[in-house]
Chain A
């Protein structure tokens, strides 16, 4: 499963998926925390407070790119 597929799966567990991967993620702020912690568990990464920004968590595609960057 690709990183993008896994991110979609994680987000879908907690919120409605947007139509496209680069559409803005319309979720309650707390959902982002739950998603971030799920990403940490799944990918073995640590999300820092300063990284919790729209550039990294604004869309499904950005989350996937962020995770790829953390794992690189």
Chain B
């Protein structure tokens, strides 16, 4: 693996995360409910195979942009003077094939004429959005980096390999210019197209347009035909990305206060911790409660970690992801006092909408 690493300080500039927000739909789907819906797995099997006990599903009238808007509002409400010059939305489940979910969210957030676009990097989505946002921030813009997915609409309820893994949700971060050396210290991204069919949705795109036949055979749902290889590749991707970014920044795992990884399943996280020799308290885990939320996972987990008080001023957090494509990424972020203060304000307490 060879990461493409971006260090804002190399340009004599800086980019920092000023606030985060996340949103989980109100409906919690337990393993028992999945089984009642016909999933070919018991609660015990799901827990044993994945460590997942529940996940959130979007309501019938909620789409990806709705979740993105909720998470974005929570991030923006944590700022005294919210401003957005640009919006990047990472998703693999946009509201429509076109236009972008970002444009729909841009309108709902009343962002004026701020450019808005979707980007697709599967479970590495948030880190890809954060990389784009950091590059725009060093040019002076304040950027909303969002990741949102409604994977529940693309699940085959009869597929043992995937039916219990995924949940819905969104996470957002406001990225602003700052002094060199503050905030986002480095981001590294990677892609390897040999894994393009490792986890994929075969039909519904230009390769295999939706037909009555593709729907009848559920080819518009998530397929994971080489599960063991994907499992091992996810760990390898996150570990290699972490080690390369840490080496490039002169750090080791010992220097990092918390690792916030993508959460495909609990066993993958246990393997990552074992190979990286990470003590349990240094790994943030929420997969048991929310499952795999694709590209939004890291954004949600980072927001939860901040609000749970797991990070202190001047500590460094390592965000990690690997996913279909294959894609992978890592980001080293220094926590500052303003971000901590923002995370202590809870917009949900003044909002009627459900969520995290």
A residues bordering B, Cβ < 8 Å?
28-30, 32-33, 36-37, 47-50, 52-53, 57
Contacts and interface: CB of A to CB of B under 8 A. Distances in A.
Interface stretch (B16-24, B136-144, B227-235): B227-235
Interface of chain A: mostly helix, strand, loop or mixed: helix
B236 A48 contact: yes
A33 B236 contact: no
Contact of A36 (B226, B232, B236): B232
B229 A52 contact: yes
B210 interface: no
Nearest to A29: B227
Interface string B218-251: 0000000011111111001000000000000000
B161 interface: yes
A36 B161 CA distance: 18
B271 A32 contact: no
Given A33-B228, A48-B236, 10 more contacts: A29-B161, A29-B227, A29-B228, A30-B49, A33-B231, A33-B232, A33-B267, A52-B229, A52-B232, A53-B229
Contacts of B228: 29-30, 32-33, 36, 52, 57
Assign chain B's interface to a size class. Answer: 10 to 19
Contacts of B236: 48-49
20 contacts: A28-B160, A29-B161, A29-B227, A29-B228, A30-B49, A30-B227, A30-B228, A33-B228, A33-B232, A37-B271, A47-B232, A48-B232, A49-B229, A49-B230, A49-B233, A52-B226, A52-B228, A52-B229, A53-B229, A57-B228
Nearest to A51: B232
A56 to B, nearest CB: 11
A51 B244 CA distance: 22
B307 to A, nearest CB: 33
A63 to B, nearest CB: 12
A33 B229 CA distance: 8
Nearest to B161: A29
A29 B226 CA distance: 8
Contacts of B227: 29-30, 33
A47 B231 CA distance: 11
Contacts of B233: 49
Residue from A28, A36, A49 with most neighbouring chain B CB atoms (10 Å): A49
B262 to A, nearest CB: 16
A71 to B, nearest CB: 19
Contacts of B229: 49-50, 52-53
A57 B231 CA distance: 15
Contacts of A48: 232, 236
Contacts of A57: 228
